């Protein structure tokens, strides 16, 4: 149980660091807080609700991964290196794909809710 408590503490420290040092994470958290209640209004059933909410969490997860990769790459040095750039670009692509997923999920469900048959 002690390990679980410590792991929770480390996770909360990670969330705190992301909030403190990553503007994009703060913006995405605010977006999630705005859209989360909207998901309950938009969803017609529990499956749609799960899709809407999980797409919000995927964006936050992707941003945390991106921030972690950037921190590790920046920690290793300030010189420009092809592999460092590639790692950062790939992590950034994870965020982009999660945002596209968010837009697709929300767009399809909103389309069916307001314009579909």
SS3 per residue for the chain: CHHHHHHHHHHHHHHHHHHHHCHHHHHHHHHHHHHHHHHHHHCCCHHHHHHHHHHHHHHHHHHHHHHHHHHHHHHHCCCCCHHHHHHHHHHHHHHHHHHHHHHHHHHHHHHHHHCCC
pLDDT at 116: 79
109: domain CATH number is 1.10.287.3610
Residue 117: the pLDDT is 63
Catalytic residues: 63
pLDDT along the chain (117 residues), means of 10: 93 97 97 98 97 98 97 85 93 98 98 87
Q: Judge if pTM exceeds 0.85.
A: yes
Domain enclosing residue 60, as ranges: 2-114
Total tally of structural domains belonging to the chain: 1
């Amino acid at each position: 149980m002690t390990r679980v408590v410590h792991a929770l503490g480390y996770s909360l420290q990670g969330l705190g660091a992301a909030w403190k040092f990553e503007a994009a994470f703060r913006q995405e958290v605010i977006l999630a807080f705005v859209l989360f209640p909207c998901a309950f209004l938009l969803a017609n059933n529990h499956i749609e609700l799960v899709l809407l909410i999980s797409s919000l969490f995927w964006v936050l997860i992707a941003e945390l991964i991106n921030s972690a990769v950037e921190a590790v790459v920046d920690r290793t040095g300030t010189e420009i290196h092809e592999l460092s750039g590639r790692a950062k670009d790939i992590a950034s692509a994870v965020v982009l794909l999660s945002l596209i997923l968010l837009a697709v999920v929300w767009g399809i469900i909103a389309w069916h809710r307001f314009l579909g048959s």
